[in-house]
Structure 1
Amino acid sequence: MPTAASNEAINGIVDRLRGCVGSDTCRLSPEGLLGLITEIFVRAGVPAGPARILARTCVHAERDGAHSHGLHRMPAYLATLATDWVTPGARPRVQESASGTVLVDANNGFAQPALAQAMPLLTRKASEAGVAVMLMKNSHHFGALWLDVEPLAEQGFVALTMVNSSSHMAPVGGTKPVYGTNPMAFACPRDGRPPIVFDQATSVMAKGDIQLAAKSGRPVPPGTGLDKFGKPTEDPAEILDGGTLLPFGGHKGSSIAMMVEILAAALTGGNFSWEIDKSGYTNAHTSRAGQFLLCIDPRLSGENAFAQRIEALARTLMESGQSRLPGDRRHANRKRAEDEGIAVNPALLLSWYDAPRPGPA
């Protein structure tokens, strides 16, 4: 449970937000916002440890400018937690399999706390063998995926992860959702610099970005999705109302989405995207699916000049005219947030904080 000191800090943040009501925004430090969002998750029934991990997922995405996976996700988290679709206090089961394999059963809990429990074993195996893989099932992943691999790159590992989710995307040539947006994230360390990190959906746009476009009344680019009649549309509301997203690059993105289903669902034992049935949980938003994570220790690859080769690659890309490397914009946003604070809507945060939290039905 939060300490008296943390309660005092949270009360101070809440008082500050109440003083900002009437203004569109109020700025909070990343650590202050993390404490408040943690408390909101605790009030929603999540134990303190997992609550802080989930809060970090939302706050760090917001801090780094990934708004579709930041505070935008909080209403969906809270609506889901008001049901018994997900088990907020689930105890993950982590076990060794083969010498380079870690098996994780999240027991219908959130993926990030389960990953945090598995991480020491995963990194130890990767350090010993040069490579290790984590296979997770029965997990709910609802946040930015790059947050799972960036810490590994900061420790010197190369990491690749992917998850599947509820069906929102049609395969190439199809008109009905089969795949999730099936994102993947990759992170690579650099010598004395922030890691190279990318996180991308296999759909033309992530569902969260579609939701933000619908909320603001903005059209989406042609080729983003179909309406419920299978016709192309640039209206994000029509895509969300019984329509479907489309894979990027046609058959190329569709093939990658299939690969994610194979690695994150078939290999782990998790649900395929089309097997996730929330029909009895109309207010639930998370997906009980799977996650695949590959962790490589380049220090054991036999290539002693790895760091220098990465810098040669980065230098060549920038000299070719590329304006930034993957992850650079997030790190710039992160520094700005640390210097200036994170802009938040005070009335919205207070509505989450003050709302009564009924227990699971």
Structure 2
Amino acid sequence: MSARPDTAVAQIAFADLQALLQRIFVCHGCSAAVAQALAFNCASAQRDGAHSHGVFRIPGYVSTLASGWVNGQALPEVEDVASGYVRVDAQGGFAQPALAAARELLVEKARSAGIAVLAIHNSHHFAALWPDVEPFADEGLVALSVVNSMTCVVPHGAQQPLFGTNPIAFAAPCAGSDPIVFDMATSAMAHGDVQIAARKGELLPEGMGVDNKGEPTRDPQAILDGGALLPFGGHKGSALSMMVELLAAALTGGNFSFEFDWSQHPGAKTPWTGQLIIVIDPAKSVGNRFAERSRDLVRQMQAVGLQRMPGERRFREREQSAKEGVTLTVAELEQLQGLAG
């Protein structure tokens, strides 16, 4: 009998994938609440075609939990700091449950004051960032979030890595259509995409990273083995990455990307840093017109020839997954079933 090709695929309903992932997280030490938050985020990324943050991440979660680096049972402590400010100590756990614990208060403050800030520290974020902000746009709010990660990016003009990939996510309502949502690393490429390219044996485009001698390379494994990524856009991306460090770490009380040491926890993969979320109620400024103005801008961008809006591909993938199921390779599905016990 011939071996099954690695490219053989299977479809699974989103709810079934989420339930399977939730079982994995519980099996490997997470509380039910933590497992639910992480499973939804990971399943959503897979459903929407963001494979670098989908089920690809599960082995990293499992090894991190096994290492004792992260507290899968953590109960976040929410502090009502001021009229427009909420602070959360994630207690060495994941950032998503910390956001969930503070979300209702954050929205209440944003609607009351017009703007509110959520500062999360002592937290681990290993997932896509857009699921953290998109739900606010679904409620008619505008949201911006930043999170720093582990050192793997050389600042523009420097000789050694210092920053993380340090993503920025944004979401805003748009009348008559899906919200405007984007999530982008401030590095030239997401670290997960480098890992996937290395696994597939593919070369990267020019300008993504350097090897351990600081020489430009297209080899993803060379970047992972002591090399580093570059910021996108040279000094511009580097400046944005610095901004993320200041907002997500210095402002929240979290660690900078270079401050934590996981060397005593073999298998640890999750950065122990911080996250900042800013939520704005546009009704305080322009009433109900903001979503309509968003639609006007989108239409004008399309009129000048833009073929695809930022984040549009995810919504198309989501629609297809709703009809056909979420796509996994058979090998991935079997691995998940094995991890679920």
What interval of TM-score do these two structures reach, taking the shorter chain for normalisation? over 0.9
Aligned-pair distance for 1:26? 1.7
Q: Which residue pairs with 1:102 in the alignment?
A: 86
Q: Which residue pairs with 1:345 in the alignment?
A: 329
Instruction: Name the SS of the counterpart of 1:132 in structure 2.
Output: strand
Aligned-pair distance for 1:220? 0.8
1:88 equivalenced with 2:59 (yes/no): no
Which whole-Å CA distance do the structure 1 matches of 2:339 and 2:155 have between them? 40
Q: Which residue pairs with 1:163 in the alignment?
A: 147
Q: Which residue pairs with 2:61 in the alignment?
A: 77
Which whole-Å CA distance do the structure 2 matches of 1:207 and 1:237 have between them? 11
Which whole-Å CA distance do the structure 2 matches of 1:304 and 1:143 have between them? 32
1:58 to 25, 42, 62: 42
Instruction: Name the SS of the counterpart of 1:312 in structure 2.
Output: helix
Distance 1:280 1:129, change over 3 A: same
Instruction: Name the SS of the counterpart of 2:119 in structure 1.
Output: strand
1:228 equivalenced with 2:212 (yes/no): yes
Instruction: Name the SS of the counterpart of 1:301 in structure 2.
Output: helix
- Kindly report structure 1 stretches of 4+ aligned residues shifted beyond 4 Å: 20-23
> Quick check: 1:104–1:135 contact (8 Å CA) kept in 2?
yes
Q: Which residue pairs with 2:237 in the alignment?
A: 253
1:328 to 306, 312, 334: 312
1:218 equivalenced with 2:218 (yes/no): no
Equivalences for 1:168-247 in 2 at 5 Å?
168-247=152-231
Question: Which one is further off, 317-326 or 180-189?
Answer: 317-326
Per-residue displacement from partner, 1:173-214 (whole Å, max 9, x unpaired)? 123110000001000001231100000000000000101111
Aligned-pair distance for 1:23? 8.5
Which whole-Å CA distance do the structure 1 matches of 2:332 and 2:325 have between them? 17
1:300 to 284, 304, 307: 284
> Quick check: 1:175–1:226 contact (8 Å CA) kept in 2?
no
Q: Which residue pairs with 1:126 in the alignment?
A: 110
How many residue pairs align between the two structures? 338
- For 2:164, the aligned partner's letter is G
Instruction: Name the SS of the counterpart of 2:82 in structure 1.
Output: coil
Which whole-Å CA distance do the structure 2 matches of 1:23 and 1:198 have between them? 29
Equivalences for 1:280-295 in 2 at 5 Å?
280-295=264-279
Which whole-Å CA distance do the structure 1 matches of 2:6 and 2:260 have between them? 41
Q: Which residue pairs with 2:132 in the alignment?
A: 148
Which whole-Å CA distance do the structure 2 matches of 1:172 and 1:33 have between them? 40
Instruction: Name the SS of the counterpart of 1:136 in structure 2.
Output: strand
TM-score, length-scaled by structure 1: 0.91
Distance 1:101 1:233, change over 3 A: same
Which whole-Å CA distance do the structure 2 matches of 1:190 and 1:350 have between them? 39
Which whole-Å CA distance do the structure 1 matches of 2:292 and 2:19 have between them? 39
Aligned-pair distance for 1:107? 0.6
Instruction: Name the SS of the counterpart of 1:343 in structure 2.
Output: strand
TM-score, length-scaled by structure 2: 0.96
Distance 1:45 1:316, change over 3 A: same
Instruction: Name the SS of the counterpart of 1:165 in structure 2.
Output: coil
Per-residue displacement from partner, 1:13-71 (whole Å, max 9, x unpaired)? xxxxxxx9998222111111111111111111111121011011111000000000001
> Quick check: 2:21–2:340 contact (8 Å CA) kept in 1?
no
Aligned-pair distance for 1:355? 4.5
Instruction: Name the SS of the counterpart of 2:30 in structure 1.
Output: coil
RMSD between aligned alpha carbons?
Answer: 1.6
Aligned-pair distance for 1:304? 4.8
Identity within the alignment, %: 50
Which whole-Å CA distance do the structure 2 matches of 1:149 and 1:165 have between them? 18
Which whole-Å CA distance do the structure 2 matches of 1:239 and 1:97 have between them? 42
User: Which 5+ residue runs of structure 1 have no aligned equivalent?
Assistant: 1-19
User: Which 5+ residue runs of structure 2 have no aligned equivalent?
Assistant: none
Q: Which residue pairs with 1:48 in the alignment?
A: 32
Distance 1:184 1:22, change over 3 A: closer
Which whole-Å CA distance do the structure 1 matches of 2:316 and 2:338 have between them? 33
- For 2:197, the aligned partner's letter is A
Instruction: Name the SS of the counterpart of 2:157 in structure 1.
Output: coil
> Quick check: 2:24–2:339 contact (8 Å CA) kept in 1?
no
Question: Which one is further off, 306-315 or 193-202?
Answer: 306-315
